[in-house]
Structure 1
Amino acid sequence: MMLNRRQFTMGAAALLAGTGLSMPARAEDRVKVKFATDWLPQGAHGGYYQAVADGTYEKMGLDVEIVSGGPKNDTRPLLVSGEVDFLMSGNLLLPFEDIRKGLPLKIVAAHFQKDPQMMMAHKGVYKDFADLANAPKILLGSQGMESYGRWMMKTKGFKEERVAPYNYDMKPFFEDTQLVQQGYAVSEPYEALAANVEIDSWLLADEGWNTYSCMVQTRDEVILTRPDVVQKFLDASTVGWYNYLYGDATPGIEAIVAANPDQSVGRLTWENEALRSLGIVDSGEAEKSGIGAMNAERIKAFYDLCVDAGVLEAGSVDLAAVADYSFVNKGVGLELRKA
């Protein structure tokens, strides 16, 4: 859906100072851009909604429309067909599969340095991540089972016979204190909090599952024919993320609630803090090179991890075709970070 920006304030203008963004282009001069997310509007999309709502994209001369994904709206085909210009991709396995299929797509930024996938248990039941393998039952969704589940079994001592399907209903977890299940760092923990259930949780990223997440993909022809648009979109998105995390997130939060009434200001405020405290967006390479940073060495390391775990076959992906690194690692927006 199309989100119209709200009146840009002097406070937001101050946050943008020094980023290289100019005054808003006239409406008739702005370049129309469509960006598809991978799910319904939520806090994990906050930087993009912030950049629409506070005028950051507009200042870059862009008229950005966010096209939401969801359970009945698979947005991935829209990038290949040319219906959208950019696509959010959840983890590196999806771009790897695109290359395996011969699709002319590339990652151009990684806005999450850590994958928000996690494992969770009732508080105090298990002493550490390794101890989770001793749980009598572990709930994993089908995609989780065939990705990080395989890695956990290969390297962390988890047993397939203890795995049961996760259907994204928290009731079994609430009723069984011995149960261990997958989660998303800005989703299931909030559900537990709302139900007054105390939990322990472990980010898979902190245990070695080293994929990037919330990546931006585009078509090769967009990179070749409109590199200026790619650069402007990524720079403005990066500034949007800094403003969402460290500035006044109200515009982004209100835009998400307007686009998805199932969200709430309270929940999104909690999710924003979780993104900061867990270092999902701004950690590792991003601390030096700016939000969106990525490099070939880390992509290869994750590919090697997947080959070792049996998730991918050796030699199945042309790693040189996965990403274009020329638009990131430039330190855009670093001055907006607050301690």
Structure 2
Amino acid sequence: MAWYAQAPVGGFYQALARGFYRDAGLDVTISNGGPQVNAVQLLLAGQCDLITGYDFQTLHGVAASMPLVTVGASFQHDLQGMILHEPARSLADLKGRRILIASSSRQTFWPWLSRRYGLSAAQAAPYTFNLQPFLVSPDVAVQGYASSEMFDIRQAGVAARFFAFSDEGYPPYGTAIVTTRALAGGDPASVTGFVRASMMGWREYLHGDPAPGNALIRQASAREDEARLAYGIATMRAASVLTGGQGGLRALGSMTEARWRATYEFMVGNGLIAPGVDWRAAFDTRFADAAQVVPA
């Protein structure tokens, strides 16, 4: 995993706990990530077979001739957004605030966000994944996820609102499944089996009984308790993350060329990648299509 064990990766733990990977003939171990873990580096070094990735990261890798390929998308939109103190009403209210962002965000959403809302570079400050500066300062905004940071903020009794970037046209998929071209080309049956089992896990985690997955998450992360996990699940359900609210989605985890083109053009338009990158090399729709896990 690119991040720690928590509800936003719960579908993978559900698949492991329920034996979906085993039933697909796969021996799967899930390892925690975090801000100090370079998942792409581990993947390319052969220390893991698949990672949870990010479309921008994969496109950057393709531009640098890395053999990365996205084989499925857990969520039909990215879950990232910005959290502002009440009485904020939109992302336009970021003007005049100090904005805490991770260093990696300068290569993802920040160029777009700053251009769209007329923000200055001086407003951006480092986010060290400690919410305390936000909790004590009404003039501070922070990047985050509705399914995790918002729980901690509400537990602290702070009135705040979450604004999803996807609602403003931010195009990447969320919690993508990424592997190497060697594995995708050399063992397509195993990759399809992994995608199928993972999406079965996601369907059950969000629309069935998540207890098996939650038990494994709590073993992997002492920070997670039942209340935090339940909040994350409810938030993801409300956001229709598996389908993006799209009627007629043919299969969970599926992707489209049009959407990847939009992400590539978004990156070019915001100076994040040079024109001419072979963006089609960054994804392969065949695996999720073959997995055929239908929405609940």
State the distance in 2 between where 1:115 and 1:100 align: 21
Shift of residue 286 of structure 1?
8.1
Q: Is the counterpart of residue 75 in structure 1 residue 39 in structure 2?
A: yes
Once the two structures are superposed, residues 306-334 of structure 1 have per-residue CA deviations (whole angstroms, 9 ceiling, x without a partner) of: 1111222222x211211111112458332
Task: Say whether residues 1:49 and 2:10 are aligned partners.
Answer: no
SS at the partner of 1:67? coil
1:131 matches 2:93: yes
**Using the alignment, how far apart are the partners of 1:305 and 1:61 within structure 2?**
39
2:57 alignment partner, one of 66, 76, 94: 94
Aligned pairs for 1:29-48 within 5 A: 37-48=1-12
Secondary structure in structure 1 of the residue aligned to 2:288: coil
Give the AA of the match of 2:29: E
| Deviations 1:144-164, CA, capped at 9 Å, x for gaps | 233211001222322223222
Aligned to 1:107: 70
From the superposition, tell whether residues 67 and 175 of structure 1 become closer, same or farther in structure 2 (CA, over 3 Å).
Answer: closer
Figure out how many residues of one structure are paired with residues of the other and give that number: 296
Identity %: 30
Larger radius of gyration: 1
Looking at structure 2, the residues matched to 263 and 148 of structure 1 have their Cα atoms a distance apart, in angstroms, of 27
Change (3 A) 1:166 1:72: closer
SS in 2 for 1:201: strand
In the TM superposition, residue 296 of structure 1 has moved relative to its aligned partner by 1.4
Query: 2:111 is paired with a residue of what secondary structure?
Result: helix
In the other structure, the counterpart of 1:334 is 294
Q: Match of 1:59?
A: 23
- Larger RCO (CA under 8 A, 6+ residues apart): 2
- Find the counterpart in structure 1 of residue 210 from structure 2: 249
Aligned partner of residue 66 in structure 1, secondary structure: coil
Q: Take 2:192 and 2:150, find their aligned partners in 1: how far apart are those partners?
A: 35
CA distance in 2, matches of 1:297, 1:73: 31
Q: Secondary structure at the match of 1:79?
A: helix
TM-superposed deviation, 1:68: 2.1
Give the whole-Å Cα distance in 2 for the aligned partners of 1:103 and 1:311.
Answer: 17
Alignment pair present for 1:260 and 2:224: no
Q: 1:63 to 1:287 in 2, by over 3 A?
A: farther
Among 259, 282, 287, which residue is 1:322 paired with? 282
In the alignment, residue 158 of structure 1 is paired with which amino acid?
Answer: L
TM-score by length of 2: 0.93
* Structure 2 residue 174 is the aligned partner of structure 1 residue 210: no
Structure 2 residue identity aligned to 1:165: P
Match of 1:159 in 2: 120
SS in 2 for 1:182: strand
The residue type paired with residue 101 of structure 1 is A
Does 2:223 align with 1:236? no
For 1:223-247, what per-residue CA distance to the aligned partner results, in whole angstroms no more than 9, with x for missing partners? 2221111111111111000000001
- For structure 1, the residue ranges without an aligned partner over 5 or more in a row are 1-36
**Partner in structure 1 of residue 256 of structure 2:** 295
Structure 1 partner of 2:266: 305
Query: Which secondary structure state, in structure 1, belongs to the residue aligned with residue 287 of structure 2?
Result: coil
Gaps of 5+ in 2: none
Q: Does structure 2 conserve the Cα–Cα contact (< 8 Å) formed by 1:114 and 1:279? A: no
Structure 1 segments, 4+ long, off by >4 Å, are 284-287
- Among 114, 139, 143, the alignment partner of 2:104 is 143
Q: What whole-Å deviation, never above 9, does each CA across 1:56-99 have from its counterpart, x for those lacking one? A: 1222222211122234443322221223221110x211101211
The code of the aligned residue for 1:322 comes to A
SS in 1 for 2:29: strand
Amino acid at match of 1:239: M
Instruction: Give the Cα–Cα distance (whole angstroms) in 2 for the partners of residues 200 and 40 of structure 1.
Output: 24
Q: Which amino acid aligns with 2:150?
A: P
- 2:196 touches 2:291 (CA, 8 Å); kept in 1? no
